[in-house]
Structures are given as structure tokens and as C-alpha cells.
A and B are shown apart, each in its own frame.
Chain A
Amino acid sequence: MASARVLVKRRKSIRNIRKITRTMELIATARFKKAMDRASEAAAYTRKINEIVADLAAADLKFSHPLLQQPPEEQNVAILVLTSNRGLCGGYNGGILRPALRRVRQFESEGKNVSLEVSGKRGLSFMKFEGIPIDRSYTQFEDKPAFDEVNELASRYVADFIAGRIQRLDVAYQEFLGSSKQAPTVQTLLPIGDLAGSGGADETSNGAAIDYEFLPSAEEILEELVPAAFKARFFKTFLDAAVGEQIARMVAMKSATENADEMIRDISMEYNRARQTQITSELAEIIGGAAALE
């Protein structure tokens, strides 16, 4: 049995770790709330875009836009992987990197040119370890991604796609399904499959269609609207990723704190027992000594 002194030392260090994990949990909770607010505020934009799409659809407009069209062949594929810059968030990064890597391998086996882009230090070090070359890397996206920053990326993808430099864009990220449910997904954002999709559009279709005046014309509005819809979706992946990271960290730190509590309890018990043994043996020695003197 370990001596009481060693146990006291261990218990002390666990208490210190517990303090750290507990604090990180609280910070993650606060950040999560902020990220969540941002995500729900941003949802208004997407909802409105979908509404206008539905309005245009009601005007008997045939949707045709370069971003909507499936290119005849997919040769150049871009994959963007969104991971976190910081660790200590449980299986968050691993969960994203696994399906992302699978997708990369799949494309490579199909003989496509994959351009891999990774955001977040964790993903970058993982790819380095795996020996996979990265074409572009970003580390500027923290828990508050700004639209302007994300927009730069989005505009480049739009330009590349229209010019035919890439035929497909996949984004691997943690999709936010609810505050207790996130799932790593690899989503194809370009070409845009279903413009009216991702919910919100059907609520406007009820009731009589409003006879809109279109300025300049429905076609020209659509021309601008499709990239805007893509950008809104692209931005959403970043917001989801930010929320997911904080949730993952919150959960990981919560269980770490609980584990620390349990260890402190166990060690305390062991320490008490060790102390008791020590006292007993000391008493036995004294009694033994006294008996020997008689």
C-alpha cells in the first residue's frame, strides 16, 4: 500500500487538475452560448434567402445557373476540412478527420485531383502526421468566424467553380443538429444540389402566391441570389463548427471534472485507510515495546 504522504501529493495534483478542467468547462459553456446566439442570428439570413428563392420559384422561373449545374465530369475536387485550433475537446477533431480522410482516399482511388484545404491547427498536424500534402491551410477561424473572412474563401470557390478549375467542393465539419446532438458530416456544397432545400422554404409556399414585381428581372436576381445562397450555406458550416467545438469541449471537460472528483474520492478513501494502518502499526509498535520492557 502506498504511503499516506504519496497519496496526499497525488490528491493535491488531481485537485489542481480538477480546477483547470472545471474552469475550462465554464469557459466553454460561456463561449458555446455566444456561438449559439451567433448561429441562430445567422439563421435569419438563410431563411430569408430561401424565402426569396421560393418567391422566384413561384414566378415560374426555370433555375439555371452555373453553380447549380453538375459539371459533365468531376476531375478536380476540393475538400475543406474544418477542425479546431485548440485541443482538449474530446473526439471532436477525430470525428471530423476520420470521414474526411475516407473521402479523400475515395477520391484518390477514383483518380481525381484532390485539393485538400484544412482549417484549424489540429487538422493540420493530423494531416502532417499522416503525410498527406495540404494545398491551403487556415488558422484564423476561432470561435467567432466573421462573415467577411469566410466570404473571401467562398468567393474564391465560386470563381474557381465557374471558371471550371474545380468541379466539386466538399466540406467536412461537425453539423449542429441540436444542443445535445452533433454529427460529423462531409457535405457537398458545390454544385448546389437543391437550392430550396435545407428547410424554411416550404413555409412560404402556403397561401396564395404574391404577385411580385421583380427588379431588374427574376433571371438577373437569381444570378446574384445563387452565389448568396451558397455563401450563406458556406458560412453556416463555419458557425456550426464553432458551436460544435465548444459543445465538445464542454462535454469533455465536464466528464474530466467528474472523473477527477471520482479519483479524489477514491484516493481519499485509500489515504484514510493508509493513515489508519500507519496508526495501528505505530500503536502495535508502542505496545510491543512496552511489553518487551516489562
Chain B
Amino acid sequence: MIAATELRLVLVTPETTLLDERVRSLRFPMFDGQMGVLPGRAPLVGRLGIGELKVATSAGGSDRYFIDGGFVQIKGSVVTLLTDRAIPVDEIDAAQAKSDLAAALAEVPTSEEGINAKERAVERARRMSGLR
């Protein structure tokens, strides 16, 4: 069997399909850490984390996005990332992310849900400002 050389990335948000192109490799955050995908990856369904999606495009360049949770499905040569939000790294508003972080840190949750929500908000803001 010939080794697979093709890899296609489809990046979907609820509003639109952001990317649908052939890539050489990509790296994205899973719920428990980074994951890299090269052509020929075995089928997978998984949960995404918050952080940076790095794509090595077939033209030789690389794209970077901030993604905010969701799911990944790898099927054949197609990698589909479903995420609530995907922002190109250049478009991240660093000041906004900083103020979001401060706001999230200042919050005083009183319930279990509140604590979880705060943790998520803090992580999201940290990762976002860390990318910029």
C-alpha cells in the first residue's frame, strides 16, 4: 500500500466554513494537550481544547488560528475541526484579551458551575493573550 500523502483540513464554525484546503500537516490543542496530524492518520473523533491551531500549508507557509473548544473528526484524508470560534492569530485583540483576563480573574464565583465557568474564562483569556 502506498503511504498516504494527502491531507485536507476543513475548519468549520457555526457561522461559516473558514478553511477548506490541502495542507501538509497541522497541530491543534486537544482537551489534554497538543496533537499533531500528518497524512495517513488513523480515524479519530476527539474533543478539542482551547489554544492555537497551526497549519503547514501545501504552499510552504503556515497559518495560525486561535480556536475555542469543539470537536475533531479525522476520516480518511480529511481532518474536520468543529469549533465555536476560530480567529486568525493576527486578528486577536491583545488588549481585549488582557481586559477579559482581568475581568475573569476578578470574578468571585459562589457555585460549582461558577467556578468552572471562571476557570474556562481564565484559560481562554490566558491562551488568547499568550498567542499574541
Contacts and interface: CB of A to CB of B under 8 A. Distances in A.
B82 A148 contact: no
A231 B70 CA distance: 12
A221 B44 contact: no
Interface stretch (A4-12, A41-49, A174-182): A41-49
Interface residues of B, number: 25
A48 B32 contact: no
B57 interface: no
B44 A41 contact: no
B71 A228 contact: yes
Nearest to A163: B113
B75 interface: yes
B15 interface: yes
A212 B44 contact: yes
Interface in B1-43: 12-17, 30-32, 42-43
Interface in A22-54: 38, 41-42, 44-45, 48-49, 51-52
Contact of A213 (B17, B43, B70): B43
B45 to A, nearest CB: 5
A216 B15 contact: no
A38 B12 contact: no
A225 interface: yes
Contacts of B113: 159
B15 A147 contact: yes
B53 to A, nearest CB: 16
Nearest to A56: B45
A34 to B, nearest CB: 12
B46 A221 contact: yes
Interface string A136-162: 000000000011100100000001000
A232 interface: yes
A214 interface: yes
A52 B46 CA distance: 10
A215 interface: yes
Nearest to A210: B43
B46 A232 contact: no
A232 B47 contact: no
B64 interface: no
B77 interface: no
A203 interface: no
A51 B71 CA distance: 12
Given A147-B85, A221-B47, A228-B70, 19 more contacts: A42-B15, A44-B17, A48-B82, A52-B71, A55-B73, A56-B45, A147-B15, A148-B85, A210-B43, A210-B75, A212-B44, A213-B45, A215-B31, A215-B46, A218-B45, A224-B69, A228-B71, A228-B84, A235-B14
Interface of B: 12-17, 30-32, 42-47, 69-71, 73, 75, 80, 82, 84-85, 113
Interface of A: 38, 41-42, 44-45, 48-49, 51-52, 55-56, 146-148, 151, 159, 210-216, 218, 220-221, 224-225, 228, 231-232, 235
